[in-house]
A and B are shown apart, each in its own frame.
Chain A
């Protein structure tokens, strides 16, 4: 068998990039697998039971919840994005489908997105320049779709100084540019 195909990050590098500007760190994550999970019509109770059994949280709207193997955040009615460690769940859709059978529609999303984790003591100053999410009032575990510099993103608040952003993979460079410029303006 030939050499396995090498992987490139969304920014076009072999390894993920971390940028620190002032107090803000922008950490590209390349180690998270992602899949969408949508409940098929009339199968909600079944899916919730199967999810509970698999240790996969299905949080309320606008929420993120962490689990032992899988974490998840709400994206639409009856639909979540499920996260897992890429090293153990490279084929995350392949891993989830057997758990839910035909009760849920599962689609691989890993490479549809670029993930940036943002770290600072307080990210309010950065995020108020990027997104209309009321970050200061959002509780930890808040998850929402938002628009950053014309780019549709998901924002998850893990804490005042810890945020995960998912943006479209093809616009990774544009999204990073917006984050960098804004970090400079508050540095």
Chain B
């Protein structure tokens, strides 16, 4: 029979029928249902298996606190594990599967764990699998890994998109129950900018689940009326399906909006979820409260749930969980369930009330001072055993049981900034403490005000107080009439009975016995209790079990519950998919790319690109017939050295430095002198950190008396700019210096090789002969009238220039240079060839500028001027950094020209054992030099300057390579620099 447990009423749309499947069986439900309510309507109580013992489980709750009814939703790439059936909104065609079972939910082979429970007590994994030690990696760990984890992943890429965004408001109201609605109404009417967020797909909170009236109307109808008014206010943003997941600094809250989770497939282009960062001036926590159970033997049977959930299913969803129902309570609220169900014609067999005092419910068997000692029915509740006040036990046939051990205010968000909640003796629960997130106050049940009237009043009051702090005023409108029943509760945490297990944290299978064991083994601190037993470490983060667990521990230690304390509350409030946190930043869009001015041209040529930070640079450009990268790189190197090659060097950082103190400023940030540099000239500069280590290098040109253009390495472009800004703003604010990055404003190309000048002379309007534009000259030029810049600098050791035009003309300049260079067989080379040529020339780059090297290490010690003060100059003179036996940059060539070198190899004397005491240094950069016909390398070698000409070994124990090498000058190519001055 379809929906045999569906009753009349509720907030579901019976005019439409939704079809869905669970474990392959088809069922029907209605809009307004959750997966759990629809399954219960169809008589399905068994929805999952517990983590450790694989115990059969049904839903414990009707909300986001659910620990048991954890299922997989959807199929294919959209399959999502570990979702809560109690909050999964039903849609037509939904396919759901139970998890953590094999071969079926009703018969699960791993339920054998339940029989072996004495081996799986708290901390079993600390005690077992210890012997033999060799079994851990090969036997135990693989078995545990297979058994662990709840749902399964498809390993397919998530086809949906996720969005991010930023919202601003005067007042963020967290939770849309009576307190939140009243607060939003007061603030909205006052004209404040309000965001009202609720995790549910319907505003109203508990009003939807109760038969209570507000202002003479059914609570749900009152809530709907308020929502209608709020919707008409342009200053109020209503956000349903939106969970506030955490409180962060300065009034910032994280929120996840489930935009499309209630649909089979998101609408085209629409995200599945949106992660919002909400900047609030004030916030009101109106997140309500969560009911907690009472632990007793076998209290995890499917059909046993929180009393409030039982009536939520009845009142909101029109579902009776069973034909014959009982209630076990220690407080007045539990009686509501019995009354509501009886009013709906459900057979309420008994109310088992732990309290001895108070009035009896009329027309219901109300057992005072009684408790439940056991429950029967493996795959679904069949009976409960009740111990009455007089000690007699009785077994009652029931198929559903509602349990209420009291309500815990949802203090999580108020405790995310480490504020400790405080114990309220009247409520027997924690309420928000002092020192929570600045600007946040709690209202309603979240603040411990458990009546509807209390919620309405505190919601309005909280909102008006917040507005008052912001200088806004609102009216104290009449509070609608509502119940104002006081809380009546007698502490009852668990039932002492036989040797059976009573569950506290059902998802992680933490029982009262486990807490007792933790106590016995002295893990009594609440943080130890958590780790030792895994209490509260499941996907529900112990929303129903934590207070119960620490109350049991308090009973054992003789401490009070507040003395026992709580563990730290951390975001997120409910689980968040990693895709939501990633947002749009996934796949190719994981980070933005930076494209060079020659990118379009290089793509046309089929260039191979390399990621350099965010830049995509041309690594090499394969020509037809070249099947190996080395062929392309060797050709590019040889062609450049033979005639002329062009390389896009736009990525090098360029910083425009102006002001009357620009030269003096550079003298301070560079270890060598720039104030004396003539206009129209450039110089290689070395920048040190305060500790004297080398920070960055590059050339800086003086364009006029008060303007310099600095070049940095690609990697440090941003870091150097930031460093200079720090120097300018903080260290020497008295200096007249202005900085701005021009890295992207100019397309800059290196033109290198014996024919570089001849090529450029065809394009540049000015005389650039050696006499007019000598080595290290710099200046503004024109190309066919277009302003451009020319620098005669060389990284390759060749006669070379760097030429720059406004970036938009970069593509055209490259094409023009290739056209002009056709007669010289001009080629374009990539970063690999650039690297080969700089190693041949002995220039340092990233591998040598490793943050641990000094100018002396690099053979540039004389550059550190002692005639002036500069950053790092003093500390670079420390004794340890000037050790004559310290590292020096050397060149390395294999003795056998056909041998290969391995970067990272360590230098050892011939015959020396490969031990750390004999380590002579390491090989930093290695390339194949087509010019020399062998591999060559640079390296840091202890006292390397005195070892030129020696023979050593380059040993790499990781790669298991060893090569005999000759230590040579790092200047492999044109050591006298004749070519670059040519």
List the interface of chain A (C-beta within 8 A of B): 1-10, 12, 30, 36, 38, 40-42, 79, 91, 94, 102, 105, 107-113, 128-134, 136-137, 149-151, 168-175, 177-178, 181-182, 184-185, 187
Contacts and interface: CB of A to CB of B under 8 A. Distances in A.
Contact of A109 (B742, B783, B786): B742
B271 A185 contact: yes
Contacts of B661: 41
A38 B738 contact: yes
B279 interface: yes
Contacts of B660: 40-41, 102
B919 to A, nearest CB: 41
Which residue, of A112, A177, A187, has the highest number of chain B Cβ atoms within 10 A?
A112
A63 to B, nearest CB: 19
A150 B656 CA distance: 24
Given A129-B165, A149-B592, A170-B595, A91 B787 contact: yes
6 contacts: A5-B809, A12-B595, A109-B740, A111-B747, A129-B163, A169-B807
A36 B599 CA distance: 27
A129 B593 contact: no
B740 A177 contact: no
A117 to B, nearest CB: 18
A4 B785 contact: yes
Interface string B702-732: 0000110000000000000000000000000
B951 interface: no
Given A102-B706, A137-B168, 18 more contacts: A2-B763, A7-B808, A12-B595, A36-B740, A40-B658, A40-B738, A107-B656, A111-B744, A111-B808, A112-B807, A128-B166, A134-B168, A134-B279, A169-B744, A169-B745, A171-B593, A175-B592, A181-B589
Contact of B784 (A4, A172, A174, A184): A4
B585 A150 contact: yes
Contact of A149 (B271, B584, B594, B595): B584
B743 A112 contact: yes
B614 interface: yes
**Shortest beta-carbon contacts, A-B, top 6:** A184-B269, A174-B592, A105-B658, A111-B807, A41-B736, A5-B812
Interface in B253-306: 268-271, 274, 277, 279
Contacts of B787: 91, 94
B738 A105 contact: yes
A97 to B, nearest CB: 10
B812 A109 contact: no
A107 B741 CA distance: 9
Given A128-B167, A185-B270, A9 B808 contact: yes
Contacts of B367: none
B806 interface: yes
Nearest to B808: A7
B600 interface: yes
Contacts of B279: 132, 134
A150 B593 CA distance: 10
Nearest to B661: A41
Contact of A110 (B597, B741, B784, B806): B806
Nearest to A148: B592
A174 B166 CA distance: 20
B659 A181 contact: no
A161 B747 CA distance: 34
Contacts of B597: 8
Contacts of A171: 592-595, 614
Contacts of A6: 809, 811-812
A150 B582 CA distance: 12
A175 B165 CA distance: 16
Contacts of B740: 36, 38, 79, 107, 109
B407 to A, nearest CB: 36
A20 B743 CA distance: 31
Contact of A112 (B584, B595, B734, B744): B744
B164 interface: yes
Contacts of A131: 166
B591 A150 contact: yes
B599 A12 contact: yes
Contact of B745 (A38, A111, A184): A111
A79 B740 CA distance: 10
B806 A170 contact: no
A50 to B, nearest CB: 16
B190 to A, nearest CB: 17
Contact of A185 (B269, B591, B812): B269
A43 B115 CA distance: 86
B969 interface: no
A178 B597 CA distance: 21
Contacts of A41: 659-661, 734-736
B83 interface: no
A12 B600 CA distance: 7
Interface string B802-840: 000111111111001000000000000000000000000
Given A5-B812, A38-B738, A105 B745 contact: no
Nearest to B805: A5
Contacts of A182: 163, 584
Contacts of B271: 185
A111 B811 contact: no
A57 to B, nearest CB: 20
Contacts of A184: 268-269
Which residue, of A1, A5, A40, A184, has the highest number of chain B Cβ atoms within 10 A?
A5
Nearest to A5: B812
